[in-house]
Structure 1
Amino acid sequence: MTDPLLSVEERLAHLIRMMDDMSDVIARQDGEIARLRQQVDMLMHREAERQSEQPGGVVLGDERPPHY
C-alpha cells in the first residue's frame, strides 16, 4: 500500500510545477500583448496622420459634391 503522505506530496509537486508553467506562459503573453498594443498605437497614429494629410473629404453616397 502506498503512503498517503507521499501521494499528497507528489500531487503538490505536480501542482507547483503546473503553476510555474502557467506563470511563465502568462508572463510571455503579457509581453506579447504589450508589444501588440504598441504596434496598434503606432498604426493608429500613422493612419491618423495619413488621413490628415489628404486634401478634401470623403463623398458619402447621399451627399452632394461641392460643385452642385
Structure 2
Amino acid sequence: MSQDFTSFEESLAHLTRTVDELSDIVARQETEISILKRRIELLMGREAERELSEGGTVALADQRPPHW
C-alpha cells in the first residue's frame, strides 16, 4: 500500500511539473501572438497608406464581402 501511494505521489509530481511547463509555454505564445498581431496591423496600415498615396483605392483586405 505504501509503495502504491509513493508511486501515485511521483506521478502527481510529474504531472504537476508538466502542467506548469505547458502553462509557461502557453503564456509565452500568447505574448508572441499579441506582438505578431500588432505587427500585422502596422504592416496592413502601411500598405493601405502606400496604396492610397499611389492613387489606388482603400485596401479592403480586412473587410468582409457584402454577401457575408
Q: TM-score, normalised by structure 1?
A: 0.78
* Distance apart, 1:55 and its partner CA: 2.9
Cα deviation code 1:13-48 (max 9, x no counterpart): 000000000000000000000000000000000000
Where do 1:1-68 residues align within 5 Å?
3-55=3-55
Q: Give the number of the structure with larger relative contact order, counting CA–CA contacts within 8 Å between residues 6 or more apart.
A: 2
Unaligned 5+ segments in structure 1 are 58-68
Pair 56,4 (structure 1): closer, same or farther in 2 beyond 3 Å = closer
Using the alignment, how far apart are the partners of 2:39 and 2:55 within structure 1?
Answer: 26
Q: Give the alignment's Cα RMSD to 1 decimal.
A: 1.5
Unaligned 5+ segments in structure 2 are 58-68
Moved over 3 A (4+): none
SS in structure 2 opposite 1:38? helix
Using the alignment, how far apart are the partners of 1:55 and 1:26 within structure 2?
Answer: 43
Q: Percent identity?
A: 45
